[in-house]
Amino acid sequence: MSVLLRMNSFKHSFSPAELKIFQYVEKNPEQASHMTAKQLAQAANVSAPSVVRFTKKIGYTSLTDFKIQLSSELQSSKEVPSSYADVQPNESFQSIKEKITTNAQISLNETSSILNEDAFEKAIALLKQAPAILTFGVGASALTSQDIVHKWSRIGQFVFHERDIHLFLPQVINAPAHSLLWLISNSGKTPELLYLAEIAQKRQLPILTLTQLGNNPLHELATVGLQTARPMESENRSAATNSILSQFLTVDTLFYLYISQNQQYTKQISESKQTMEDYKNH
């Protein structure tokens, strides 16, 4: 994930000193990529230790690592598009097509770069022990929940999804022990999902979440949290296209990693596919 997008993902949780560093780097990325901790601290009017803490907070091992990634990003940005764009009034077909394609490529690349193998392995451990998966999302995230149902049901896993929380909540309350609650929210702040997570905690059910990168309430409640890139979308974005693509990529990666570690599922997928073919022929 790009340095600037990563910083944006965490800016709401920055301390006053970290916010000063963020603002300086955002406005002066070229200069910041060549500065020592002391120089950057002086430029941002903070202490040198604050600079080191800042780089580690946003996911880099050191200031050197941060500067290498920032310098590389600045160089590549001169060669390929690196920012999202939304549709304008009376825009041409060709322009819209190119914008959507570029946005999709950036979103997928950014999300791929931050997917964490350790988090995926922990998610797989939860899935393996779950007698049932209950998945919920609101709005566009509900499409990702439906995708989860389509995938895991093909390998014989019981998966429940319902758009109406009044019908979904009783399933959480009555779910067997160790059932997995899988909650999808791009912002990580959706009230319905926060309430469901709190109910699951009271019932001691494990919680798997899928949110955008950065600190958010839902991620904090998770047993295991997966995160996607946080696209720098237009304030007047037309739809949740980029976040949905990122969520689909993450779910696909988890699913294929899951079945690759459990070869018996390959046969179940084939049998499911054949059953559907038989139905069509019938």
Quickly list DSSP for 237-271: -SSSHHHHHHHHHHHHHHHHHHHHT-THHHHHHHH
Cβ contact 271:122 at 8 Å: no
- CA separation for the pair 168, 170 (Å, rounded): 6
Q: What is the mean pLDDT of residues 224-230?
A: 92
Alpha-carbon distance of 5 to 22, in angstroms, equals 11
Which residue is it, tokens 């709190």? 198
- Counting residues of the chain whose pLDDT is more than 70, the rounded percentage is 92
Closest among 129, 159, 132, 156 to 147, alpha carbons compared: 159
Highest average pLDDT, of 4-13, 181-190, 267-276, comes from 181-190
Check residue 84 and give its pLDDT: 56
- Give which of 165, 163, 255 is closest to 208, Cα–Cα: 255
Largest CA distance in the chain: 75
The CA-based dihedral angle spanning residues 33, 117, 126, 240, taken in that order and rounded to the nearest 10 degrees: 60
Rounded to an integer, what distance in angstroms lies between the CA atom of residue 147 and that of residue 208?
A: 15
The pLDDT score that the predictor gives to residue 97 is 87
Q: Which two tokens stand for residue 250?
A: 């993450």
What's this model's pTM, rounded to 2 decimal places?
0.75
Question: What are the tokens at 227?
Answer: 């995160």
Q: In terms of pLDDT, which residue wins out, 250 or 110?
A: 250
Amino acid occupying residue 23: Q
For the ranges 10-24, 184-198, 264-278, the lowest mean pLDDT is seen at 264-278
282 vs 257, which has greater pLDDT? 257
Q: What is the mean pLDDT of the chain?
A: 88
Residue 239 has pLDDT above 70, yes or no: no
For 104-161, the pLDDT digits (tens) are: 888 888 899 889 999 999 999 999 999 999 999 999 999 999 999 999 998 989 999 9
Whether 169 contacts 200, CB under 8 Å: no
Nearest residue to 180 (alpha-carbon basis) of 155, 152, 211: 152
Phi, psi of 225, rounded to the nearest 5 degrees: -120, 125
Res 276 pLDDT > 60 = yes
Checking if the pLDDT of 235 tops 50, the result is no
Q: What does the block give as tokens for 121?
A: 């392995």
